[in-house]
Structure 1
C-alpha cells in the first residue's frame, strides 16, 4: 500500500491500539459455533468512507472453507492444482508459517472448477488442528509446527459417498473426541476419533452426511453433540456414541442441509431450504416437543440464524436460486396453533395462524451473519459487507462497503478486531476494532 490508503490504514490501526479486542475464532461460526463473537469483541460503530481499513490481502487457491483463528495463528484450507493444503498463517500479515499437503482428485457433481476445493472450516482445539477435505481426508496437525500427527481417508475406510459438493460437515471436537458426520455405511454414518492418536472411538447410525456443522450442547453438565445429518437431527454422547434421540429432518432428492442447529437454552431450531423449512422445538435428554414445524417463514439454505433478545435474524432462501430475503422473526410467535385438548400430529402441530414475521427485506441477496458488539455483520455472496443495528421494527443499516469483488461464499471469521473473508482467489483481512 502507498500514499493516502496506507496512511489511513495506519491511522485507524493506531486509533484502536488500546482496544479491548475479542478472542479467538477457532472453528466454524466462532467460539460456540453460533455465529456470535465473544463479548469483549469491540467494533467500529461506523465505518469510514470507503469501508474498514484493509490490513492485508493475499492470493489463495480454490475452496469455500473459511479461516479458523487461535492467537496469532490462522488456519487456511484451500486447494492449489491437485493438492489440498492446510496452511498456518500469521494473522497480522498473512505470511505463511507452515503447510501440510494432501493429494486430491475431487470434482464436484454440481458447480464448476471453483467448487473443487475444501468446504469445511478447520477446527482448532487443545493445540491441534483438524481439517476435513472434500474427499473425506481427515487430518490432525500440531498448531505450532504444522507437523502431521495422524490422518484418515474416511470415505475410503468407511465406504462413504462424496456427495454433490464433497464432504462439507465441519467436524467438532468435544474433549478428546473428534466427531465427524462421515456418511459411511455399515453403521459408520457418524464416527468419532481420538484427538491424540486418531484411533476410532466409536461408530453410530447409517446416516448419510450433510453440509451442516454439528454443535455442542450441555445438559446436566454433560457435553453432547447435536447434529443434522442428511435425513435426521440427532443428539449423541461424544464419549460413548450413545444415540439419545433423533427426529426426521431433510428429504431425498437434490437437497442439502447446510445451516447449523441453533440452540437457545432448552430449545433448538433446525432449518433448510428446498421446501424443507424448519423445526423449532423444546428438547432434553429424552427427546423433543415440537413448537413449530413448516416450510415458512424459516427456510434458509446455509445461513445459520442469529437469535437476539427473543427475535431471530436470518437470510432466507437460497444462494443459487434467487431471490433471498433478510428477515426478522419473533420467536414467541413462532408456534403452531393447537386447539385445547387436541394432540399434536407426529413431528409437529397445525400450521401457524398468525405470522411471526416482524419485517422482511425482499431481494436482499444471499449471505451469512455474525453478531459482535451488539451489531450484525452481513457478508453477502456478491462481496458486499453491511454493518447492521439489530432492530425488530425495521432493517437498520449503519454502514456498508464492497469488501471483495467476485463470489464471496466462504464463511468469514472475526478475531481480535480482525475480519477475515475470502472469495475465489483472495483472502483479505479488514480492521474492524474500535478503541475504548
Structure 2
C-alpha cells in the first residue's frame, strides 16, 4: 500500500511538468532583457507584451491544462491570483496618475492623484526688468537658436578636457517650470519656455546669476500622458527679438531687452489645424525677414511663414502632417532653401514663396524628431527612430527641376529625441539611447557604445558633449575607431530631454524641474 502511494505521488510530480514554467520564466526574462540591450523600440514594446502574456496567460494555462491538479485547488489559486491582480490594478488607477515618462522607453512616471505636480508648487515668476551681469573670464559667445549659431549642433570652440584638474564651476541652480525647451542666449540673456500651473511662460534669465529678468505669460497648459506637460520648442533670438512657439501653437514675438510682446499668432487655431499628439516641439527658424514654423496634422499646411517684424502671414506650403523636427536652411546644388523633415516626407522649399522644390517620400507610423543635417554641397542626412534608421539624400537641380535620391538608406542611427553631429565624414549621435558612429559615405555603423538614454548632444571643437537622459553630462573624445569618456558631470537628477546650450564658457542645462549653469574652462 505504501509503495502504491509513493508511486502515485511520484506520478503526480511527473505530471506537474516543472520544466514548462521554468522555460516560460526564462523566455519572459529574456524579453525583459531586451529593454536594456535592444536597439529597436518597436521590438521592445512587443517584448514587454510577450513577457506579460507569458506571465499572466501561459503560466495559468500550464497549471490548468497540464498539471492535472484538482479543480478546487486550481479555482482557489486562480481566484486568489485574480482578486489580487484586480485589487492591485484598481488601487493603482484610483490613487495614482501618469505624469509623463521616466525615459524615452515609455516607462511611466507615476504621481499621487491628490498631490500637486512640481510646477504647480512653484511661486509666480516675476522679472526684475534690470540689465544682466555681463562677465566672462575667458569667452562669451551667443547661442541664439536651436542647436546653436549654425543650427547644426556644432560649435567652433575648444574645451579643456581635463575636468578632473579643472572641474566645471557651478554658477547657479534654480527650480524651473515643466517643459522640454532649452535655452537660447544673446547678450547674456538666456531665454527659455516653461510651464507653471495654468500658465505657459516665455522667460528670460540673467545668464551669470540666474535671476529672472522678464516673463511673458499665456493662459494655457498643454497636457500629454507620455511626454508630460508644458512647452517643448527652443526660442530663436534675432536682432533683438525673441520668437517662441508654445506647445499649443502660439507664436510670440517679444522684445529681448524689455520683455514686451510685439505680436502674437495662434498658428494652428487660425488655420483650423489639429495639434500633434505630443504638442508643437519644432523650433522657429528665422531667415531674412521671415519667421518659419511647422504646422499641424494633415491636410497641412506643413510649413508657415510670417513677417518677422509685424507677424503678418506670408506663405503656407505642404499638405503632409508636420513632424517634431525643426526646419533648417541649406544651400543645395547652388540653391538656398528651407529643408524640413515631415511625417511622411522630406521636402525642400523656396524661401520667398514656400514653393515645394522637391519631395522625398519617407512614410512613417511613429514620430520623427531629428532635424536634417547638411553633409555636402548636394547631400543631406535624415535620421529617425522606431525602426526607420537613416538615409543620405542627394539633391540636384536638373532640367525639369530638383530631384532627391537616396545614396543609401539603412537601419542605423535611429535617433528618437536627439539630433546627430557631423565630423570628418562621420555622424555621431544617440541611436536608440546608445552612442553610435556611422559613415556618411557608406551608411555603415562603425561602432555602438555606451548607454546614455534618450538624451541630447553637441559637438564642441574636437569633443562630443552628451546630455544623458538621467541628467548627467559626459565629455567624450570620439572618432571613427571608437570613443572615450574624458569627464562626467552630475548636473541634474531626473529625466532630461532638453537640449544643452553652450554660450562660450557658459553651459546651460535644464529639465522639467531644475535649471543649472556651469562655467567651463576653455583652451
Normalised TM-score (structure 2)? 0.70
Specify the alignment match of 2:60 in structure 1: none
Specify the alignment match of 1:306 in structure 2: 421
Matched, 1:418 2:482: no
SS of structure 2 residue aligned to 1:107: coil
Is this contact kept in 1: 2:360–2:405, CA < 8 A? no
Specify the alignment match of 1:274 in structure 2: 386
SS of structure 1 residue aligned to 2:441: helix
Distance change in 2, residues 1:258/1:103 (3 Å): same
Matched, 1:288 2:397: no
Q: Distance in 1 between matches of 2:373 and 2:301?
A: 25
What are the superposed Cα offsets for residues 99-136 of structure 1, whole Å, 9 maximum, x if unpaired?
1101103211534xxx2110000011121111111110
Larger Rg: 2
Q: Distance in 2 between matches of 1:119 and 1:166?
A: 8
Is this contact kept in 2: 1:51–1:400, CA < 8 A? no
Q: Distance in 2 between matches of 1:51 and 1:210?
A: 39
Q: CA deviation at 1:375?
A: 0.8
Specify the alignment match of 1:370 in structure 2: 458
Matched, 1:23 2:141: yes
Q: Distance in 1 between matches of 2:137 and 2:248?
A: 44
Is this contact kept in 2: 1:182–1:189, CA < 8 A? yes
SS of structure 2 residue aligned to 1:332: coil
SS of structure 1 residue aligned to 2:304: strand
Q: Which has the higher helix share?
A: 2
Distance change in 2, residues 1:263/1:220 (3 Å): closer
Is this contact kept in 2: 1:207–1:229, CA < 8 A? yes
Q: CA deviation at 1:23?
A: 2.1
Of 269, 278, 302, 1:165 maps to 278
Specify the alignment match of 1:261 in structure 2: 372
Normalised TM-score (structure 1)? 0.84
Name the Cα RMSD after superposition: 1.9
What are the superposed Cα offsets for residues 1-29 of structure 1, whole Å, 9 maximum, x if unpaired?
xxxxxxxxxxxxxxx9652x252111111
Specify the alignment match of 1:340 in structure 2: none
Is this contact kept in 2: 1:183–1:206, CA < 8 A? no
Specify the alignment match of 1:350 in structure 2: none
Q: CA deviation at 1:298?
A: 2.2
SS of structure 1 residue aligned to 2:270: helix
SS of structure 2 residue aligned to 1:173: strand
**Structure 2 residue ranges without an equivalent (≥5):** 1-134
Correspondence list, 1:5-20, <5 A: 19=138
Is this contact kept in 2: 1:184–1:190, CA < 8 A? no
Q: Distance in 2 between matches of 1:270 and 1:100?
A: 35
Q: Distance in 2 between matches of 1:425 and 1:275?
A: 31
Is this contact kept in 1: 2:144–2:186, CA < 8 A? yes
Q: CA deviation at 1:153?
A: 1.2
What are the superposed Cα offsets for residues 142-184 of structure 1, whole Å, 9 maximum, x if unpaired?
1111111111111211122222211111121110111111126
Q: Distance in 1 between matches of 2:221 and 2:136?
A: 45
Distance change in 2, residues 1:17/1:121 (3 Å): closer
Q: CA deviation at 1:399?
A: 0.8
Q: CA deviation at 1:362?
A: 4.9
Is this contact kept in 2: 1:62–1:116, CA < 8 A? yes
> How many residues are paired up?
384
Correspondence list, 1:176-215, <5 A: 176-183=289-296, 188-215=301-328
Q: CA deviation at 1:249?
A: 2.0
Matched, 1:88 2:191: no
Specify the alignment match of 2:435 in structure 1: 326
Specify the alignment match of 1:385 in structure 2: 473
Q: Distance in 2 between matches of 1:315 and 1:138?
A: 30
Matched, 1:406 2:469: no
**Structure 1 residue ranges without an equivalent (≥5):** 1-15, 318-323, 335-355
Q: Distance in 2 between matches of 1:186 and 1:276?
A: 23
Q: Distance in 2 between matches of 1:169 and 1:386?
A: 25
Q: Distance in 1 between matches of 2:344 and 2:332?
A: 24
Q: CA deviation at 1:373?
A: 2.3
41-50 or 78-87, larger mean C-alpha shift: 41-50
SS of structure 1 residue aligned to 2:479: coil
Distance change in 2, residues 1:186/1:274 (3 Å): closer
Specify the alignment match of 2:521 in structure 1: 433
Is this contact kept in 1: 2:273–2:300, CA < 8 A? no
Specify the alignment match of 1:175 in structure 2: 288
Q: Distance in 1 between matches of 2:367 and 2:436?
A: 21
- 1 or 2 for the larger relative contact order (CA 8 Å, sep ≥6)? 1
